[in-house]
Amino acid sequence: MVDTLGMLLGVMVTAADVGDRAAARVLLEQVADAHHRLALVWADGGYTGSLVEYCLATLALVLAIVKRGDDMRGFVVLPKRWIVERLFAHLMRTRRLARDYERRTTSAEVMVYWSMTLLMTRRLARSRPQQA
């Protein structure tokens, strides 16, 4: 889960037999507890259904689903989805995350946090132009 700048708010790596909606409930609870000002979450069409009502009733979060239009053909950049895709591109720059080397889900989560720490420190260390 990332913010609008693409900075990581939370990550959860699960086994293959855990569904996305079930894992999303746990991750949303963790992120909502850590980030109290969070009010709106964008998600793709795979998170429709009871998760939308659960977020509103239990977590006081609005889960807005970014849907693909019926008239769209081929590859189309959807609003807000590019933020997460950009995160995936940054993560794949870390060689260890390009393949599934980890035996435990916790070590895979730590590798994602490590990769994002590298990205954030690079952004902080980037020189900014002098203002006149």
- Residue predicted with more confidence, 128 or 116: 116
- pLDDT of the residue at 61: 93
pLDDT at 54: 93
Average the pLDDT over 32-59 and give the result. 91
State the Cα–Cα distance between residues 115 and 90, nearest whole angstrom. Answer: 8
Indicate if the pLDDT at residue 40 is higher than 90. yes
Instruction: Output b/e per residue, 86-107; b: 16+ Cβ within 10 A.
Output: ebeebbeeeeebeeeeeeeeee
Query: What's the mean pLDDT in 33-45?
Result: 91
Please report the pLDDT score of residue 46 as a whole number: 84
Selected residue with higher pLDDT from 100 and 50: 50
Tokens representing 12 are 């959860």
The 10s digit of each residue's pLDDT in 66-119 is 877 777 777 777 778 888 888 888 888 887 777 777 788 888 889 889 989 988
Cβ neighbours of residue 116 closer than 8 Å, sequence gap 6 or more? 7, 8, 90, 91
Q: Is the pLDDT of residue 58 over 70?
A: yes
